Amino acid sequence: MREDARNAANNVNEQRLWQRHAEMAQLGAIPGNGVNRAALSKEDIAARKLLLSWAAKRNYSISADGIGNLFLRRAGTDANATPIMTGSHMDSQPRGGRFDGIYGVLAGFEALEAMDEAGVVTRRPIEVVAWTNEEGGRFAPCTMGSMVFTGARPLADVLDVTDNEGIKLKDALADTLAATPQVAKHDFKSPAAGYIEAHIEQGPLLENARKTIGVVTGIQGLRWFNVEVSGKTDHAGTTPLALRKDAVRDSIAIINALTELTHDPKDVTRFTVGRMLVTPNSPNSVASHVLFSVDIRHPEPQTIARLGDAVEPLARKAAKFCEVKVTPTLHDDPCVFDANVADAVEAAAKTLNLPHMRLSSGASHDAMYMARICPTAMIFVPCEKGISHNEAENATPGDLAAGARVLTAALIELANR
Ligand code: HGY
Ligand code: MN
Ligand code: MN
């Protein structure tokens, strides 16, 4: 390992990193030690302002792109060199944890500060990015900021997406951009020479294997759909079942059919209906409309293709009384990360004597999209019992700092290539 990389890694400040998580956890804090910091909400705006207040004390240039992704750049000696990027997201699930996403932003920021304090100079600039709307909990689909930044989807496609209260993304985005007027403009599809994202594992493998560092080799495939079932509202007491167009009954039939489709004795396939909006949502009126989400995941390309392609025909076949509209909102094939970047992560973990192992990610991340435009890999650290997307999500100061040390060393290595 380069001497400067080791010095910078040794300058990672565990206490400061932990304290920053505690400050961020106040923004959208909910009972049970969790956070609810929805994308483009006032809590998200507060997190952006807090991050920018820390960056203002450093000599980093700050910019934002048209979907609100925030970029903090530490200059390199070669101003024209494409940057090495790191980062993650600051938005959370409605009952999210204090580490999902925010850890990758804070570990990246800690890496820059450790480089400052070690007096390290790199050839390439290094950028920390806070991606907008990685979770997709408020505005579907997930990984929206990195999807638009990398050109996988035009911004215009998502501006009219609404949340459960009917607020349009474009209006929440306008409020968010207006809240941080002092940042420069950042172009979509700005080139990068590499990207490393640090994240908690959100699964139990590292903890079970007693490893501190996960060298992440890829992400499983995922497909999201919105299914809308439209029938007719009627009186619950007087309307015979034979005459009903009951949107809840048909939704149940569709979900049962999808449960059968995704049944997997090896329990590798993931199928989730996490969101369901019923109209008029009254105990004694037959439901006229249901919108529900479908999230299917699998590590094999041909399986995720087969399962995803079966959703619409199966939904139509299962519904007996109502109209059905199936809208695909996300189609990510499984991705394999760049071997050289994964090797740089593994070499850093080895040289820093941190127990490590290679693994693939069950959760999706913005790295899924960055992998399409530059050499990309991820670093995982353990989270307690693998719990995530739950207030009980927990990690230790030591593991978070260890991941930040590996990130610091790997970034310096890549930024001097
Ligand atoms: O859904 C996911 O995998 C990510 O945690 N947003
Ligand atoms: Mn995440
Ligand atoms: Mn998440």
Atom of ligand 1 nearest to the CA of 202: 5
CA–centroid distance, 383 to ligand 3, in Å, is: 13
Ligand nearest to the CA of 135: 1
- Determine the longest span between alpha carbons in the chain, in angstroms: 80
Encoded amino acid at 338, one letter: D
Atom of ligand 1 nearest to the CA of 389: 5
pLDDT at 277: 96
Distances (CA, A) of 292 to 43, 197, 224, 276: 26, 31, 11, 4
Ligand nearest to the CA of 92: 3
CA–centroid distance, 101 to ligand 3, in Å, is: 7
CA–centroid distance, 182 to ligand 1, in Å, is: 31
Strands 61-64 and 184-185 come out as parallel
pLDDT at 59: 87
- DSSP sequence for 321-360: SSEEEEEEEEEE--EE--HHHHHHHHHHHHHTT--EEEEE
Ligand nearest to the CA of 105: 2
Atom of ligand 1 nearest to the CA of 134: 6
Ligand nearest to the CA of 104: 2
Encoded amino acid at 175, one letter: D
CA-closest residue to ligand 1 atom 6: 135
Ligand nearest to the CA of 296: 1
Residue 304's H or E segment, with its range, is helix 301-318
* Each residue's pLDDT expressed in tens, for the chain with a length of 417 residues: 899 999 999 999 999 999 999 999 999 999 999 999 999 999 999 999 999 999 999 989 999 999 999 999 999 999 899 999 999 999 999 999 999 999 999 999 999 999 999 999 999 999 999 999 999 999 999 999 999 999 999 999 999 999 999 999 999 999 999 999 889 999 999 999 999 999 999 999 999 999 999 999 999 999 999 999 999 999 999 999 999 999 999 999 999 999 999 999 999 999 999 999 999 999 999 999 999 999 999 999 999 999 999 999 999 999 999 999 999 999 999 999 999 999 999 999 999 999 999 999 999 999 999 999 999 999 999 999 999 999 999 999 999 999 999 999 999 999 999
CA–centroid distance, 366 to ligand 1, in Å, is: 9
Cross-strand pairs, 338 = none
CA–centroid distance, 101 to ligand 2, in Å, is: 4
CA–centroid distance, 389 to ligand 3, in Å, is: 6
pLDDT at 101: 98
Give me 408's structure tokens: 């610091």
Atom of ligand 1 nearest to the CA of 136: 6
Encoded amino acid at 300, one letter: E
User: CA 322 to CA 239: how far, in whole Å?
Assistant: 16
Residues with CB under 6 A from ligand 1: 134-135, 142, 363-364
Closest CA to 39 of 170, 184, 180: 170
pLDDT at 286: 98
Q: Which of 364, 380, 387, 390 to mutate to test the pocket of ligand 1 (most atoms within 8 A of CB)?
A: 364
Atom of ligand 1 nearest to the CA of 93: 6
* Angle subtended at Cα 327 by Cα 170 and Cα 332, rounded to the nearest 5 degrees: 85
Atom of ligand 1 nearest to the CA of 101: 5
pLDDT at 16: 98
CA–centroid distance, 276 to ligand 3, in Å, is: 19
pLDDT at 128: 98
CA–centroid distance, 100 to ligand 3, in Å, is: 6
Phi, psi of 86, rounded to the nearest 5 degrees: -145, 170
pLDDT at 236: 98
pLDDT at 246: 98
Encoded amino acid at 81, one letter: A
pLDDT at 1: 85
Distances (CA, A) of 206 to 284, 298, 380, 384: 49, 20, 8, 10
* Angle subtended at Cα 99 by Cα 375 and Cα 199, rounded to the nearest 5 degrees: 20
